[in-house]
Amino acid sequence: KALGYEWSTRAGLTISIADVTTPPAKAGLLARFEGEAEIIEQQFERDLPMPDGQVRHTLAHYLPQWSHGKVVGFYVLVHDITAVKQVQQRLQESQQLLAHTEALAQIGGWQLNLQNQELTWSVGTCLIHGLPADHRPTLEEALNYYLPADREVLQEAVKRCQEFGEPWDLEAQLTRVDG
């Protein structure tokens, strides 16, 4: 009844109008149960040492088992995430190498999604522009860092790339945020 169903529906005997209408207290009931579930529902990562010396990484998700408005047990789902952790480690190492290389060479990289105009800058590109490493400029903002004459050439190059797939290699002068 707390969830809005009559005993007859639970037993499969008959359906009354009360069984198919939304109870006035539904929002409060759902909020209460969801709030309780958030408190109880948890995830944990755990490293398991294996007999051969390797370590397996697991993710355990604990879900409460409810009965009549009370938690009577838990379902536990355990996933082996070792491969994911290994890929994350390699990605982190690769990102550190890229950042180190960019800093030494004072270079940066970027990419532009031509469909939605979303621009992504590497840490090196952000630093070259005098911006925080996690800065995400719009294409318009990025182009505005360049001198007006170079900006027009860059805009045309982006346009031709978008329309015809034409690659480009240009040198242009930019103005850093700090001048």
pLDDT digits (tens, 9 = 90+) for 41-78: 789 999 999 999 999 999 999 888 878 878 888 889 99
> Which are the contacts of 113, defined by CB distance < 8 A and separation ≥ 6?
119, 120
Q: How far apart are CA 27 and CA 29, in angstroms?
A: 5
pTM of the predicted model, to two decimals?
0.57
What residue ranges of the chain have pLDDT lower than 50? 1
CA dist 92 → 14, 56, 88, 107, 169 (Å):
60, 19, 6, 19, 29
Q: How many CB atoms lie within 10 A of CB 78?
A: 13
CA dist 159 → 131, 143, 145, 148, 152 (Å):
26, 13, 18, 16, 11
pLDDT at 21: 74
Which residue from 127, 143, 140 is spatially nearest to 178, judged by alpha carbons?
A: 127
pLDDT at 71: 80
